[in-house]
Homo-oligomer: A and B are copies of this chain.
Amino acid sequence: MSTLIEYPIAPELEVSEWINTAEPLSLLKMKGSVVVIHAFQMLCPGCVSHGIPQTKMIASTFSENEVNVIGLHTVFEHHAVMTADALKAFIHEYRITFPIAIDKPSPTASTPRTMQRYNMKGTPTLILIDKQGRVRLNHFGRLGDMHVGKMISDLVSETVPSSEINTGQQDKHRLDKAESNCNDIGCHT
């Protein structure tokens, strides 16, 4: 018998507001596509100099049909000044056109909820989710453009078994697992 690596199901995003998209997005709806999440803070120097330009490059290199690119504003410090309005000014000035989600603040912790769910270590963090909705990369820090291009392309090229096709039941299961998985990766406050 073969041994399979089991990748964790990606917890759903918890979002207080969406920018640059007519409708709220969800991992559930994007199942079947590769999803790239760049978690950043607008006052994080490494995000501004490296992460944001790289994410823009991802959005221009891959077609929207094959890769969904999302910026996730995970504010865990300076909450009073990294507001939604400040973020919108930042998005305008840095000419960011891909969808941006504002991670929902936690009532009990400085770290917001999606950041907790994914057990992110800080910003910038790059998360890659495959067509089956599984987390294939959760990386804090910088990665080179070629390596990122290769990893995303590899996920795009994967074929999804028919048994993994998106269904309501499947999705419900996934969300349940997402909630429960969250304890497994130690993210609840």
Contacts and interface: CB of A to CB of B under 8 A. Distances in A.
Total identical chains = 4
A86 B83 CA distance: 10
A94 interface: yes
A49 interface: yes
A131 to B, nearest CB: 13
Dominant SS among interface residues on chain A = helix
Interface size range of chain A in the complex: 20 to 34
Interface of A: 43-45, 48-49, 54, 57-58, 61-62, 78, 80-83, 85-86, 89-90, 92-94, 144-150, 152-154, 157
Nearest to A42: B43
Given A43-B90, A54-B146, A150-B153, 18 more contacts: A43-B89, A43-B93, A44-B93, A45-B94, A48-B48, A48-B49, A49-B49, A61-B150, A78-B92, A78-B93, A80-B85, A81-B85, A86-B86, A145-B146, A145-B149, A146-B148, A147-B149, A148-B149
